[in-house]
A = this chain, B = another copy of it.
Amino acid sequence: MSELHLKNALDTLKKTGVRITPQRHAILEYLIESMSHPTADDIYKALEHRFPNMSVATVYNNLRVFREAGLVRELTYGDNASRFDFVTSKHYHIICESCGKIVDFHYPGLDEVEHLAAHVTGFKVNSHRLEVYGICPECAKKENQTEE
């Protein structure tokens, strides 16, 4: 399953003439297998034992390469570090405002919003971003325990 994702991703890169370096392979592999939404630094830390000389710049550079190839989505959070998400199928994120955890959920198209926005503003619409914020079950439990 995840091997297939990796294989497809590598194929996509090859097609666009991007070299598959060991670092790139490892970063992609980590993104796919960790099943999380890591920051560039998370990735750097996770791989530094295998690539002791790797630079953070390499991580950033390659995440940009992957983003431009459409393999990876960047989730930006103001002053805080961006998180990177391997693109599989369309999904949205719900984010815990207490611990920062990000959980995926699916929701059938919000095409209607795009259409309405295009109609009202005259924009040519390309995409949208939707995030839901709240408190995850674990944090909610903790808050109850401490009678917050």
Residues of chain A having any CB pair with chain B under 8 Å: 74, 76-79, 82, 92, 94, 96-97, 103, 105-107, 110, 113-114, 116-118, 120-137, 140
Contact = CB atoms under 8 A, between A and B. Distances in A.
A72 to B, nearest CB: 14
Contacts of A79: 76, 82
B105 A117 contact: yes
A97 B113 contact: no
B107 A121 contact: no
Given A76-B79, A97-B126, 19 more contacts: A76-B76, A76-B77, A76-B78, A78-B82, A94-B117, A103-B121, A105-B116, A105-B117, A105-B120, A105-B121, A110-B113, A110-B130, A123-B132, A126-B133, A126-B135, A128-B130, A129-B129, A129-B130, A130-B131
Contacts of A114: 132
A55 to B, nearest CB: 18
Nearest to A135: B124
Contacts of A126: 97, 133-135
A138 B30 CA distance: 42
A45 to B, nearest CB: 20
A116 B132 CA distance: 10
B117 A125 contact: no
A132 to B, nearest CB: 4
Contacts of A103: 121, 123
